[in-house]
Chains A and B, each alone.
Chain A
Amino acid sequence: MKLRRRKEPKRLMPIRDPKDPGSGVFTRRALLLMAAQTAALGVLGRRLYDLQIRDGDHFAKLADNNRISKRLLAPPRGLIVDRYGVAIAANKTNWRALLLPEETTDVQGTIDRFSALVPLDERDRARVAREMRHKRKFVPVMLRDFLSWDDMARIELNSPGLPGVLIDVGTTRFYPYGSLLAHTVGYVAPPNEQDVAKSALLALPGMRMGRAGVEQSQDDLLRGESGSVQMEVNAVGRVMAELDRVEGTPGDQISLSLDVGLQQAVLGRIGDQVASAVVMDCRNGEVVAMVSNPSFDPSLFDSGVSRAQWAEWTSNERTPLINKAVAGVYPPGSTFKPAVAMAALSSGAISATDRFFCPGHFDMGGARFHCWAKYGHGSLDLHQALKFSCDVYFYEVAHRIGMEKIAESAHAFGLGTELGIELPHQREGLIPTPEWRRRHGHHWNGGDTVVSGIGQGFVQVTPLQLATYTSRIATGRAVEPHLVRAVNGSVGAKAEPTNWPALDMDPKFLDALRGGMFAVVNEPHGTAPKARLDIPGVQMAGKTGSAQVRRVSRALRESGHFNSASLPWEYRPHALFICFAPFDAPRYAVSVVIEHGNAGADAAAPLARDIMTDALTRDPVNHRIPPGQTVADAE
């Protein structure tokens, strides 16, 4: 016990050994330092509390922002189908070969071996090299797209020698009918930088934007809504895990009122003429066929149009890129006469039975305006004037009522106005007025009114306006042309004829116009006997037009050698014809404009008749079938 007690001197603190000077000071100061150390770490513990507990939520949010990366998923673009559900703009899978640089030790060697299987040209190689410089090693680079089955089989077979090469599927827009519907359906192309700035969705690879036609006007519906995928990424952006995925909403399916079969028939009938034809359901304004010839291949825009191709298109005098049905403006010629007649009747200046004498020319203020019939038509009323398409009658009428009345009537029929059709780049045309002329710093002459009376001069309309005008005459309703019949299968209100308001015109006057147009086709000596339908019990009413594109000089006229067919193509008059049928229960309105086709009666009327025949017989339910006959018989 004793020994043990002496062994270890144990004491608590502080040591203040009198034999050891400074030990007391040391102990005091060491204790002070310990207190300071404890306090310092306590302050840090307090700061840790502030960071972790007090502001924890704030920092947790920031941490999530760091690690969670949200990416949009491109939705499939909506289909465009015709009225019977035939796909006219679809999505085609596009098989692509991608290279993941980090999975191969020898990038150049892999590319070379790939090139031996699927040839890569210098442009491809340069693009791959450029993309690889700018992207991180775990981001795939596209080697080639639009792989064929053979290409893919070769790649799969040789995959052991192609480390890092993977095959991926994307989509491209596909137009099964190509140039047939190019103007109406339009085309898509990659969005440009301004578009991308407006919508994050468009920034996704593979997204396309409608650039023309319905693809452009219905782009918002067709595009759909993006899905999103939430991914956990690390500090350099590599994806570590997928946290959440919301699939996008595919774009809406747009059903057009077009009938692909009829469209094909119309184009086939037009052949290689530079022409435009519109077939409209005159009860509700649905455009059943819309042809503008020549056309172009819309699928070229998806992958990029070559400079040479573009130059060829834009320099072509036949303007293949322009949809002549809505953007081609032509003087309506004699097809304008019903509108003038309506203006005259509505204004009360004449009645349908008032007769005028046509000596073959109309003189006003020292100027002489000729009728197309050199020796005149003699005395005629409105019915006969329309039937013979007498110019002098309409010179006289126009002169009496003035331009404002004519313009008012023409606008009510849809001529020279912007129509509501779902197509971009449509042109308004022009119904000139003295006021318009003044705005452009010119004086309006009486002669301007007179030539406007026969649809010449400054008057300009589009084929679609002509079809609308015809529909309105036929039904007396203010139908608007439209192409979109249904979205996702639900048919819109426009399809119902009774939803269209009646025109603010006297039905008696409309009947007078219809009667005159009936006579044009069906009565003896009408201007368009060639337009007579060969369907029993179905009659068509129409109006011809031959619109001069340059003034016929007096010398030429008097030389007696005036034969427009001998002129150079670009000086020949345009041939026009408008019509509707069946006469007593109008169903379709057709307008045909053949550029430089000479006489409407000879070039346009038979064409319109064939189109109308096809349209009517294509839809047998609407045929007038005499009792005792079957549908098949009626065919």
Chain B
Amino acid sequence: MVLPVKPTSGLANRSGAAARGVLAGLDPRKSGGKFRKRLLRAEPSFRILSKLWSVSWLYVLLICVLAGVGYVSLYSAGGGSARPFAGPQAMRFGFGLVLMITVAMMPPRFLVRIAVPLYIVAIGLLVAVLRMGHVGKGAERWIMLGGMQVQPSEYAKVALVLMLAAWFHRISYARMGNPLWLIPPTLMVLLPVGLVLKEPNLGTGVIIGGVGAAMFFAAGMRLWQIALLILPTPVLLKIAYAHLHDYQKARITTFMHPESDPLGAGYNIIQSKIALGSGGMWGQGYMRGTQGQLNFLPEKQTDFIFTMIAEEWGYVGGIAVIGLLLLLILGGMIMAIRSRNRFGRLLALGISVNFFLYCLVNLSMVMGAIPVGGVPLPLISYGGSAMLDVMLGFGLLMSVWVHRNSRFGEEREEQE
């Protein structure tokens, strides 16, 4: 699969000498291997070459396969034509691929440095979009930036993951026990969540909150802290529900009883379930799904692309797509575990959990398991902002993988 690892040196690992001897990563001062050391010192271009070599191309291939599934589906959604969806989306993916590889080359030290500015920019954009953004389909807000439609909420997720990873990296595991150190990151999460909910975009707000929670958890929050947080949750949920917009409440009620309003808010859920169900085991055939091709399925190129895939390719196709997505998620998580620095671990985990939550919310939504909420299926759904932000995330993930052996951060601790 993604990670070609062999159980070689578990023992050597534990010996301090071995550990010291293999201070890998790409810090020239610490890298092992004479040839490689020479190579890296010699020319920056060779260093890049070496980094490119260590990119997990298998993982990149998996990303390409899913983007390919997206292309094929958008071709069908366009009524058997590359326009208007498939072609532009392929171009964006190509651009995203370049972005990803570029970001993958960035060392963690650099990423930590830019985390704060990126986060501030993200918050600024979220405020801007509230002030002067355009509203599309009731929830998704976007602004024009340099001739492009940008959805700041998508970008904010990546920026937040970077910011939290940098923060937790900085405070180290030991300080996690002190709740005072957890207050700033909590605010870091709540700020974008609040702004996104105000847009109002419930789906993305939940995802951002979920990503934040997962990172707190993985960073080593103490169990008593977790318990303290979980206990008052029901009360908080009740208060939150009271503050939801009417249309958000309507979504929740129609989700509970979609048949009560078959032509209104429940229409999407009903039509999506019909489309899924009529797909059966083997599907109605490529470009022959009646619900999608005859436009009974709303938003089939964005939110409901999975429905169309499962209608045309059946249960087999649907499970295949879910399986590919799971491979990407688990691969990212393994990359996180394999990283030897705290920043990389948390960054990779945040990106993977973000991707997972994206998939989870979208799939649950189209299967009628949670209220509909404007969350696309990453890599597959049509949409520029989402595609670029997902690829940016994969770029960060790949950077973690490329720099997995960097002992970045340790020297600072040693200095203290």
Residues of chain A whose beta carbon lies under 8 Å from any beta carbon of chain B:
3, 6-15, 17-23, 25-27, 29-31, 33-34, 37-38, 40-41, 44-45, 47-49, 51-53, 55-56, 58-60, 62-64, 66-67, 232-236, 240
Contact = CB atoms under 8 A, between A and B. Distances in A.
Given A9-B13, A235-B296, A48 B322 contact: yes
Given A12-B10, A38-B330, A33 B217 contact: yes
A9 B12 contact: yes
Contacts of B294: 66-67, 232-235, 240
B359 interface: yes
B340 A17 contact: yes
Contacts of B173: 21-22, 25
Given A9-B9, A233-B294, 15 more contacts: A7-B22, A20-B340, A20-B341, A22-B173, A26-B337, A29-B220, A30-B218, A33-B349, A41-B322, A44-B322, A56-B278, A60-B278, A66-B294, A235-B294, A240-B294
Contacts of A51: 273, 276-277, 367
B333 A7 contact: no
Nearest to B349: A30
Contacts of B220: 22, 25-26, 29
B290 A63 contact: yes
Interface string B144-156: 0000000000000
B316 to A, nearest CB: 9
Contact of A41 (B9, B338, B359): B359
Contacts of A7: 22, 24, 32-33, 36
Contacts of B281: 52-53, 56
B345 A3 contact: no
Contacts of A64: 278, 290
Contact of A63 (B7, B18, B274, B353): B274
A408 to B, nearest CB: 67
Contacts of B123: none
B162 interface: no
Given A9-B12, A9-B24, A26 B219 contact: yes
B275 A6 contact: no
B360 A48 contact: no
B318 A48 contact: yes
Closest 3 pairs between A and B when the two form their complex, measured CB to CB: A59-B277, A22-B173, A63-B278
A507 to B, nearest CB: 76
Interface string B332-368: 0110111011100110010001001001100110010
B9 A62 contact: no
B207 to A, nearest CB: 13
B405 A9 contact: yes
Contacts of B279: 52, 56
Contacts of A17: 19, 340
Given A37-B356, A44-B369, A63-B274, A22 B176 contact: yes
Nearest to A37: B356
A312 B346 CA distance: 95
B33 A13 contact: no
27 contacts: A3-B34, A8-B22, A8-B405, A11-B5, A13-B334, A14-B337, A15-B337, A20-B340, A21-B172, A22-B174, A23-B342, A26-B220, A30-B336, A33-B349, A41-B326, A41-B363, A44-B322, A44-B367, A45-B319, A51-B277, A52-B318, A56-B279, A63-B277, A63-B291, A66-B271, A67-B290, A234-B294
Contacts of A38: 326, 330
Given A40-B360, A47-B367, A53 B280 contact: yes
A11 B274 contact: no
Contact of B35 (A3, A22, A37, A44): A3
Contact of B277 (A9, A19, A56): A56
B410 interface: yes
A3, A9, A13, A62 — most chain B CB neighbours (10 Å):
A9
A21 B169 CA distance: 11
Nearest to A14: B337
A10 B337 contact: no
B337 A62 contact: no
Contacts of B273: 51, 59
A37 B10 contact: no
B155 to A, nearest CB: 23
A67 B367 contact: no
Contacts of B36: 7
Nearest to B276: A51
A15 B271 CA distance: 47
Given A10-B9, A30-B333, A59-B276, A48 B367 contact: yes
Contacts of A29: 217-218, 220
B6 interface: yes
Contacts of A49: 315
A11 B369 contact: no
Contacts of B342: 20, 22-23, 26
Contacts of A45: 319, 322
B19 A19 contact: yes
Given A33-B353, A49-B315, A52-B310, A41 B325 contact: yes
Nearest to A21: B173
Given A14-B337, A52-B276, A19 B330 contact: no
A48 B18 contact: no
Contacts of B341: 20
B214 interface: yes
B214, B281, B294, B325 — most chain A CB neighbours (10 Å):
B294
B113 to A, nearest CB: 21
A58 B296 contact: no
